[in-house]
């Protein structure tokens, strides 16, 4: 018998078999062609999600393809003159599409009974399914990947763990970047390290708040129309005035300018979804 082969269940097979690979069901380009270029579609959106994506793709594949879809849309915006760090119309639409695909996929795969109870059938179209998917997942207590919705306690624990990890990492990096000077007292050296680490933590928190704000803006723009968003902005402006009691570093004119800039950048504007005729 060859040294590179072995008998497995009465069959001669190589010892070092090539690892099994998963069939690639979904790609970012495929999603872009189907959801961002409707004229190129050969199937309706829901037919493809229901008959191809849900039975054959796992959440990891779906997430990877959806993230790639957003990247492709961002590159298209850049080609159309949108600065790289700004969110253009194509990317905004792709981010909405990503959310809807994931929610519909998750509801069909992990909350089918709840979805059916809401009236979902094989004839349900893309626009209807978008409105059913999230409530179905919530009723099933699941997120789109099939995991249980985390409790408030779990969310707080996760947030605290991230904070502690960030502070520890900042201290380690500060220690590497702040060598002890010759004849420097240990306490003085530690104080210098602490100052550097504190600045790093402050910067990390600022970045985290900006990221959280962007996510909240994205959530609000998906949920409300322009009139409601205007009322929300007006209400927030009033709350900030009351809480700061005139001590805000931003004047009313500066605040209005920031809000106007956010509107121009599309951060407070809904983007219309393209209508698709269902089979």
Per residue in 68-102, pLDDT tens? 999 999 999 999 998 887 888 999 999 999 999 99
Instruction: Give the DSSP H/E element, type plus range, for residue 198.
Output: helix 186-223
Specify the 3-state DSSP secondary structure of 7: strand
Are 244 and 201 found together in one domain?
Answer: yes
Are 35 and 134 found together in one domain?
Answer: yes
In a domain, 228, yes or no: yes
Are 53 and 134 found together in one domain?
Answer: yes
- Compute the chain's Rg from CA coordinates: 25
Please state, in angstroms and rounded to a whole number, the distance separating the CA atoms of residues 211 and 55. 34
What confidence score (pLDDT) does residue 166 get?
72
Are 213 and 240 found together in one domain?
Answer: yes
Are 82 and 167 found together in one domain?
Answer: no
Distances (CA, A) of 129 to 68, 173, 189, 199: 23, 48, 60, 47
- 38-76 residue pLDDT tens: 664 545 889 999 999 999 999 999 999 999 999 999 999
What confidence score (pLDDT) does residue 190 get?
84
Confidence of residue 279 (pLDDT cuts 50, 70, 90): very low
In a domain, 178, yes or no: yes
- Does the structure show a pLDDT above 90 at 192? no
Domain end (from 119, 140, 161): 140
In a domain, 102, yes or no: yes
Please state, in angstroms and rounded to a whole number, the distance separating the CA atoms of residues 45 and 63. 17
Please indicate, yes or no, whether the overall pTM of this predicted structure exceeds 0.95: no
In a domain, 237, yes or no: yes
Please state, in angstroms and rounded to a whole number, the distance separating the CA atoms of residues 28 and 101. 12
Are 165 and 118 found together in one domain?
Answer: no
Are 133 and 161 found together in one domain?
Answer: no
Are 116 and 211 found together in one domain?
Answer: no
In a domain, 87, yes or no: yes
In a domain, 61, yes or no: yes
Domain end (from 115, 140, 165): 140
Domain end (from 140, 162, 188): 140
Mean pLDDT, to the nearest integer, of 168-194? Answer: 83
Report the DSSP beta bridge partners of residue 197: none
Are 42 and 123 found together in one domain?
Answer: yes
Are 136 and 174 found together in one domain?
Answer: no
Please state, in angstroms and rounded to a whole number, the distance separating the CA atoms of residues 278 and 174. 58
Domain count, the chain: 2
Q: Which of 192, 197, 247, 218 has the alpha carbon at shortest distance from 91?
A: 218
Are 162 and 130 found together in one domain?
Answer: no
197 CB neighbour count, 10 Å cutoff: 21
User: What is the distance of C-alpha 219 from the center of its chain?
Assistant: 11
Specify the 3-state DSSP secondary structure of 150: coil
212 or 13: which leads in pLDDT: 212
Report the DSSP beta bridge partners of residue 157: none
Q: Identify the domain containing residue 240 by its residue range.
A: 152-264
Contacts of 139 (CB under 8 A, 6+ apart): 111, 114, 117
- 199-244 residue pLDDT tens: 877 877 787 778 888 888 888 887 778 888 888 887 777 766 665 5
Are 39 and 109 found together in one domain?
Answer: yes
In a domain, 212, yes or no: yes
Q: Which of 209, 221, 228, 234 has the alpha carbon at shortest distance from 89?
A: 221
């Amino acid at each position: 018998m060859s040294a590179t082969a072995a008998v497995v269940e009465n069959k001669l097979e190589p010892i070092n078999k090539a690892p099994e690979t998963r069939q690639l069901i979904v790609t970012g380009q495929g999603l872009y062609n189907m959801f961002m270029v409707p004229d190129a579609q050969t199937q309706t959106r829901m037919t493809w999600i229901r008959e191809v994506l849900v039975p054959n793709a796992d959440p990891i594949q779906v997430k990877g393809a959806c993230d790639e879809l957003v990247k492709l849309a961002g590159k298209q915006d850049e080609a159309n003159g949108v600065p790289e760090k700004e969110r253009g119309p194509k990317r905004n639409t792709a981010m909405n599409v990503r959310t809807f695909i994931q929610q519909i996929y998750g509801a069909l795969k992990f909350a089918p009974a709840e979805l059916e109870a809401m009236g979902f059938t094989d004839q349900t179209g893309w626009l209807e399914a978008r409105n059913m998917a999230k409530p179905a997942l919530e009723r099933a207590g699941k997120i789109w990947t099939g995991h249980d919705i985390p409790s408030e306690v779990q969310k707080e624990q996760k947030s605290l763990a991230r904070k502690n990890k960030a502070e520890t990492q900042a201290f380690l990096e500060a220690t590497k970047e702040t060598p002890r000077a010759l004849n420097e007292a240990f306490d003085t050296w530690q104080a210098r390290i602490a100052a550097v680490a504190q600045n790093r933590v402050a910067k990390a928190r600022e970045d985290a708040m900006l990221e959280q704000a962007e996510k909240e803006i994205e959530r609000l723009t998906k949920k409300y129309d322009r009139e409601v968003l205007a009322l929300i902005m007006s209400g927030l402006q009033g709350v900030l005035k009351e809480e700061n009691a005139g001590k805000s570093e931003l004047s009313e004119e500066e605040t209005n300018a920031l809000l106007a800039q956010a509107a121009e950048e599309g951060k407070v504007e809904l983007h219309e979804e393209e209508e698709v005729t269902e089979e």
